[in-house]
Amino acid sequence: MSAKTMEEIPGTRMGASTSRPRRICVDGVSTVLAGGVTYMSCLVNALARAAPHWTFDVVVSTGPLADKLDRLPNIRLHRAAWARGGAARFVYRQTALVALADRLRADVLLVQFPGLLLADRPQVMIAMNSHYVMEPPVAPDARSRFYRRVQRFLFSVGYRRCQRTVFVSEQMAQLGRRFVGRDRTRGVVIYEAASPVMHRLAASVPPYAERKVEPYLLAVGTVASHKNYAVMVRAYGELARRLPDGPRLKIAGYFGALDAFRRGAGPRPALLDLAEREGVADRIDFLGSVSDEELGALFSRCLAFVSTSLLEAFNLTVVEAMAFGVPLLVPDTSAYPEQCGDSVLYADPSDPKSVAEQMYRLATDRDLREEYARRASERGRLYSWERSAEQYLRVLEDIARPRASSC
């Protein structure tokens, strides 16, 4: 793993005792999207199992996070009933959540961006979203530029306000530190991992060389501009012209514009028109959102996993694919090289021909696929929520308010 470990990052004392009972107030109010729900649920569940003598008060505003938390005696749910909508969630977090943490006498607040600006209790801020520190993949309009400036300002304030900020990759940490001036010692890198559900599903799947794969390439992720599906479709068009009987392309992920079009509530998505022009509209399957079990089945049978995303702090679907021992083709940019090392094939995500060439290699060379499947499986074992939870616990203990003053 190429990123700095916690021992190498100033301001983090490894080996701190976690034997003393602690009370952690967890900010789940902003956790409404799929990736964030997976991250926070896996983290809280792992923390609660690793420290059964600690109490984790999790504040949620919507159902998905609460539904994914394990029913453990040291996980306590608190409902933020009125914190619905972006503005309401922001106000709740900065006011009611602070007051709740005080009533609970929390030792530490485990919060999400941009931290709690009015809290006087120790905070650990989780910076898992790349959008406020990384450059956008396309030139933003005036509104987007203003929004990004506000996000970066809030990030810099939150970074200074919180005792620690956890980044999900070293690349994101380096980019984030550009916005905090000289105060750079509070950043900690802790990687995420595939969920226990995905590991359980993968455990029943034989090694790639022994399984019966089906002729399709798999991409996973919400259809959004930064996911760069236009380049993927163009690359797939190139592949189809070279291999008329080659693999299909399956894309699993929420596609809001397509859902609206099918309901008659929106125009035909440009991505469908592009697929038509490339002559591959009948060879691409847009699957929409899928369950964990459906995604596991897709991973277990795919020829290879493909990503062309331009903006990733840490790609969760990559470690999920690794858990299933699938050969991967990913961009040579963003945090992918740090995350994947030499376990994957790389391509230039701005160049359809570069992506198409690597697709062709995967589609035609079984030995290559099996070699990179083996590498991916080995790499995936570096990431576990148990290890991440241990690192989080040490950070939380390191900054926890002494019990005598928790009032």
pLDDT tens digits along 220-258: 999 988 899 999 999 999 999 999 999 999 999 999 999
Q: What is the pLDDT of residue 162?
A: 92
Q: How far is the CA of 263 from the CAs of 221, 253, 280, 289, 396, in angstroms?
A: 22, 18, 23, 16, 47
CA separation for the pair 361, 331 (Å, rounded): 15
Q: How far is the CA of 187 from the CAs of 24, 160, 274, in angstroms?
A: 20, 10, 42
Domain layout of the chain by residue ranges: 6-193+384-400, 196-380
Q: What is the pLDDT of residue 3?
A: 40
Topology annotation, domain 196-380: Rossmann fold (3.40.50)
CA separation for the pair 233, 276 (Å, rounded): 10
Q: Is the separation of the CB atoms in 390 and 331 below 8 Å?
A: no
Q: How sure is the predictor about 369, in pLDDT bands with cuts at 50, 70 and 90?
A: very high
Question: Is the entire prediction scored with pTM above 0.95?
Answer: no
Q: 367 forms bridges with which residues in the sheet?
A: none
147 pLDDT more than 80 = no
- Compute the average pLDDT of residues 167-179: 87
CA nearest 126: which of 84, 80, 159?
159
Q: Do β-strands 55-60 and 23-28 pair in parallel, antiparallel, or remain unpaired? A: parallel
Q: Which class would CATH give 6-193+384-400?
A: alpha beta
Q: What is the pLDDT of residue 15?
A: 42
Q: Higher-confidence residue: 53 or 90?
A: 53
Q: Higher-confidence residue: 43 or 183?
A: 43
Dump pLDDT digits (tens) for 62-76. 778 899 999 999 999
- Type of residue found at 45: N
Residue length of the chain: 407
- Compute the average pLDDT of residues 141-149: 75
Q: What is the pLDDT of residue 6?
A: 35
Sign for the pseudo-dihedral over CA of 175, 312, 222, 233:
positive
Per-residue tokens: 197: 């559900």
- Compute the average pLDDT of residues 261-273: 94
Q: What is the pLDDT of residue 170?
A: 92
Per-residue tokens: 301: 């049978």
Per-residue tokens: 271: 């991505």
Angle value at C-alpha 43, between 41 and 47, nearest 5 degrees: 120
Dump pLDDT digits (tens) for 308-346. 999 888 999 999 999 999 999 999 998 999 999 999 999
Evaluate whether 6-193+384-400 and 196-380 have a shared fold: yes
CA separation for the pair 156, 151 (Å, rounded): 9
Q: What percent of the chain has pLDDT over 90?
A: 70
18 pLDDT more than 70 = no
Q: What is the pLDDT of residue 404?
A: 47
Least confident of 68-77, 154-163, 209-218, 251-260: 154-163
Residue spans of alpha helices (H) in 95-215 = 96-104, 142-161, 170-176, 196-203
- Compute the average pLDDT of residues 148-152: 81
Q: How far is the CA of 323 from the CAs of 202, 300, 366, in angstroms?
A: 6, 10, 20
CA separation for the pair 395, 391 (Å, rounded): 6
Q: What is the pLDDT of residue 131?
A: 67
Q: Do β-strands 304-306 and 216-220 pair in parallel, antiparallel, or remain unpaired? A: parallel
Q: What is the pLDDT of residue 11?
A: 36
Q: What percent of the chain has pLDDT over 70?
A: 89
Mean pLDDT, all residues of the chain: 89
